[in-house]
Structure 1
Amino acid sequence: MALITFSSHMHKDKTVYAVAGSHRQTVLELAKEHHIPIDFGCGDGECGTCLVKVSSVDAKRSPMGAPLTDHEVGVLKEMGHITQAQIDQMRVDDLCPTQWRLACQVVLRDEDVLIEYPSK
């Protein structure tokens, strides 16, 4: 099981367990399940409303969440959170080049992470 800590300046931090190996549940679905108020619009990776910052709890490693989806790449590039050079390198390395993710798209793996989200 992975420990996922959700953090916002407007709400008390909340740590939940995520079942390792599901490889299907998104951060947004996990947040909804545990009544964590991550803002979202479409839920399909088109609008960017559910932008979150994903950091590994272990400072020695970067998050290993599932690779960026095509929707994420487009929205993050449009929002200025990823460059074309990072996208090209990601295609070669198969590693996520940015901590910025869309909660409706990112699927976490068996790792402890901090999810920072803005809230209204």
Structure 2
Amino acid sequence: MPVVTFSSPLHKDKTVYAVAGSHTKSLLQLAKENHIPIDFSCGDGECGTCLIKVTNVTRKGPMGGPLTDREITVLNDLGKITQDEIEAMKVDDTVHTAWRLACQMVLRDEDIVVEYPSR
């Protein structure tokens, strides 16, 4: 069971336990269920409003499920991922960026810290 700590400069850190591997529940859904105010607009991976920075606490390496095509496009448009990182992800099938979209990231069995901006 992964431990997820949500951290924001404007809110007190909150740690929650999550179910890993459901392949359906996004990090945004987990945040909503636990009253964590991550900003979002579309909830569909197209706007970039739910941009977060994720750090793996238990080990170095990939965090969460692989990036979706929508997520790659938005992160690239926001300048949060390079073309070299995109190509590397295609070759070795691992996540090469700490930046994710909360609405697209699906948890794996790993403890993470999620940094999010908030108003």
Using structure 2 for the length normalisation, give the TM-score: 0.97
CA deviation digits over 1:43-98, x for unaligned, max 9? 0000000000010013x412431000000000000000011111011000101110
Shift of residue 24, structure 1, vs aligned partner = 1.4
CA deviation digits over 1:4-59, x for unaligned, max 9? 0000000000000101221211000000000000000100000000000010013x
**RMSD of Structure 2 on Structure 1 (CA):** 0.9
- Asked whether the equivalents of residues 39 and 50 of structure 1 are also in contact (C-alpha less than 8 Å), the reply is yes
Task: State the distance in 1 between where 2:55 and 2:61 align.
Answer: 7
How many aligned positions are there? Answer: 119
- Asked whether the equivalents of residues 55 and 62 of structure 1 are also in contact (C-alpha less than 8 Å), the reply is no
Task: State the distance in 2 between where 1:67 and 1:4 align.
Answer: 18
**Structure 1: gaps spanning 5 or more residues:** none
Runs (4+) off by over 4 Å: none
Give 1:7's aligned amino acid: S
Identity across matched positions, percent: 66
- Asked whether the equivalents of residues 63 and 113 of structure 1 are also in contact (C-alpha less than 8 Å), the reply is no
Task: State the distance in 2 between where 1:57 and 1:101 align.
Answer: 16
1:1-120 counterparts in 2 under 5 A?
A: 1-58=1-58, 60-120=59-119
Using structure 1 for the length normalisation, give the TM-score: 0.96
Task: State the distance in 2 between where 1:115 and 1:21 align.
Answer: 18
